[in-house]
Amino acid sequence: MTELLHAVEKLTRPWSDVLSPDETGLDRYLPVDYPPLLDMLDEACRANTGERSHGSASDPASRSLLDLEAHALRERIDGTVRAWVGQLSKGRAERDLKAAVVQLAGILQAHKAAGTITDADYGRVSGLFPRWCAQVWTLWDPPVRKELRGACPNPDCEQTTVTARDGSVSSALVAGYVRNTGQVQAKCSACGWEWVTVAELRLLGEWLGAEQDTEFLNAVGL
Ligand SMILES: [Zn+2]
């Protein structure tokens, strides 16, 4: 896959990565699933309107700075994508940013295949995609998030899923993983119970048992 296509995938589709022991501080490789980077960016933009699930910056000052950065980055990507779609095609950019990113990559490749774009312009535009990946990722480094399967052990909760305001359904139990420190914590989005210490996380892992995503729990030492 070309660097361009790889970047488009990461921006617009769920993707996964394997963190090395150097990155995690653990003694093994850690597979992690991520949502599309543009979804992560949208979440960063919404951060000050409600609870954020990744939460890299907990103090208010750096948090609002992060929000500003996220908004500015989103506007920059959106404006650039639309400008290039307009310039390189007769059509209009798709409304949805992810769709517009895919659209721009398609237009770019069609021009390349037809020989209707200079190498310099092609290099310039195709180089934008990996740069956007890096810029979005920088906002999020380090925390990542993994949905866990199974019901919450809180007897007053026992939820397996939560439904967001936009109607999307996700697992109630979510594990967060801090890339640089190897720190793991889990939380129930339905009732707010948290598992922070290794002992607590191990208990949660035992509770979830065979249903659990053992690959992830093993990887983080549970
Ligand atoms: Zn719960």
CA distances (Å), origin 177, targets 75, 132, 174 = 28, 23, 10
Last residue of a domain, one of 105, 140, 175: 140
pLDDT tens digits along 94-135: 999 999 999 999 999 999 999 999 999 999 999 999 999 988
pLDDT tens digits along 187-198: 898 999 988 776
Rounded to 5 degrees, what are φ and ψ at 113? Answer: -65, -35
Residues 132 and 154 in one domain: no
Q: Provide the domain limits for residue 212.
A: 144-219
Q: How far is ligand 1, taken at its centre, from the CA of residue 222, in Å?
A: 20
Residues 62 and 160 in one domain: no
Distance CA 48, CA 88 (A): 36
Residues 60 and 91 in one domain: yes
Q: How far is ligand 1, taken at its centre, from the CA of residue 166, in Å?
A: 20
82, pLDDT greater than 70: yes
Distance CA 208, CA 188 (A): 13
Nearest to 17 by CA among 38, 39, 33: 33
Last residue of a domain, one of 140, 160, 186: 140
pLDDT tens digits along 17-58: 777 766 655 666 777 788 899 998 888 777 544 444 444 444
Residues 136 and 48 in one domain: yes
Q: How far is ligand 1, taken at its centre, from the CA of residue 194, in Å?
A: 9
Residues 46 and 130 in one domain: yes
Residues 58 and 120 in one domain: yes
Residues 16 and 56 in one domain: yes
Q: SS3 for 212?
A: coil
Last residue of a domain, one of 72, 105, 140: 140
Q: How far is ligand 1, taken at its centre, from the CA of residue 96, in Å?
A: 33
Residues 193 and 163 in one domain: yes
Q: How far is ligand 1, taken at its centre, from the CA of residue 101, in Å?
A: 37
Distance CA 160, CA 192 (A): 13
Residues 165 and 94 in one domain: no
150, pLDDT greater than 90: no
How many domains are there within the chain?
A: 2
pLDDT of amino acid 69? 76
